[in-house]
Amino acid sequence: MPAAVCLQNVHKVYNNVSVVDDLSLRIEPGEIFGLLGPNGAGKSTTIRMVTTLTKPTQGDIVVAGYDVLRQPFGVKKQIGVVLQQTSVDLDLTVWENMEFHARMHHIPNPRRQQEINRWLEYVELTERRNDLVKTLSGGMKRRLQIARALLHQPQILFLDEPTVGLDPQTRRRLWEIIKGLNQQGMTILLTTHYMEEVEYLCDRIGIMDSGKLIELGTLEELRQRRGAGLVMKQESERWDYKFFPTLEDARLYLEHQPDKTGMMVRPSNLEDIFVELTGRNLD
């Protein structure tokens, strides 16, 4: 089966600085793929290239069977994009934002109204359809952006930091919306700074640093490579981490330490692996 998204040896150079460096990546149809990396890792540039907003300096990108350079309009018909910044018109109503976007995609009536009603109901904004967007909460605006991105029935949805700045309850509701879309067969590429978001949502994870893809796999595969068990030891104001193949190996190591002061054992998680690989936290 052809990939939903395929990047081969992709480079992006700005002012003689390589922002994305020889990136090759394949995202399968129907999966939720999480792209992680510290600030400046090249994630946003990658998203911009894949969604036709920025041209790669070198390399090939194919999305839903369309080449992003030679067939950008074909790509745009197959993708929905939800950027971190609020991109809906605050001075229009919820319905007017949806209507305008649907007309831009040349969706005819009565199908246009059916799709607007369908997706407003899906993101639970039907009762706010006549309200100005500027009166909505941050979570409602994000849900509206998702509904708008789905109007033209894209195959692939790109979500760039979809829950940043939202309260935990609203984030959880968005997670369920994203899960539901994936269960309907939609391929989703997600960037986020929330590790628990990736652990909950994503089938596979790619970690970028300094423009390169430095790790790729499921969470379980990443834990197997780095170690499923962890011994933590407090040194002054920081913690030192030591990985072990299994949690039992970590426990045995701790048991044989003559001085266990400030030491503890626990399973490793995605944040541990991320810090080990990049040497820094996401934020």
Question: What confidence tens digit (pLDDT) does each residue in 63-90 have?
Answer: 999 999 999 999 999 999 998 788 899 9
State how far the Cα of 247 lies from the Cα of 245, in Å rounded to an integer. 7
Domain total in the chain: 2
Q: Are residues 80 and 184 in the same domain?
A: yes
State how far the Cα of 129 lies from the Cα of 170, in Å rounded to an integer. 19
Q: Are residues 104 and 170 in the same domain?
A: yes
* pLDDT tens, position by position, 88-119: 999 999 999 999 999 999 999 999 999 999 99
Q: Are residues 51 and 110 in the same domain?
A: yes
In a domain, 280, yes or no: no
In a domain, 36, yes or no: yes
In a domain, 19, yes or no: no
In a domain, 116, yes or no: yes
- The pTM is what? 0.89
State how far the Cα of 151 lies from the Cα of 142, in Å rounded to an integer. 15
Q: At what angle do helices 270-278 and 219-226 cross, to 10 degrees?
A: 60
| Predicted pLDDT of residue 240 | 87
Q: Are residues 132 and 177 in the same domain?
A: yes
Residue carrying the six token digits 């089938």: 203
Q: Are residues 84 and 160 in the same domain?
A: yes
Q: For the domain that residue 96 is a member of, what is the CATH number?
A: 3.40.50.300
In a domain, 154, yes or no: yes
Q: Are residues 100 and 162 in the same domain?
A: yes
Q: Are residues 248 and 145 in the same domain?
A: no
Q: What is the DSSP string of 43-60?
A: HHHHHHHHTTSS--SEEE
Write out the H or E segment, with its range, that includes residue 81: strand 79-82
In a domain, 61, yes or no: no
279, pLDDT greater than 70: yes
| Predicted pLDDT of residue 283 | 45
* β-bridge mates for residue 26, sequence order: 6
Reported confidence tier of residue 27, pLDDT bands at 50, 70, 90:
very high
Residue 254 lies in domain: 228-267
Q: Are residues 159 and 247 in the same domain?
A: no
In a domain, 65, yes or no: no
CB 155 within 8 A of CB 177: no
Percent of all residues in the chain with a pLDDT value above 90, rounded to a whole number = 83
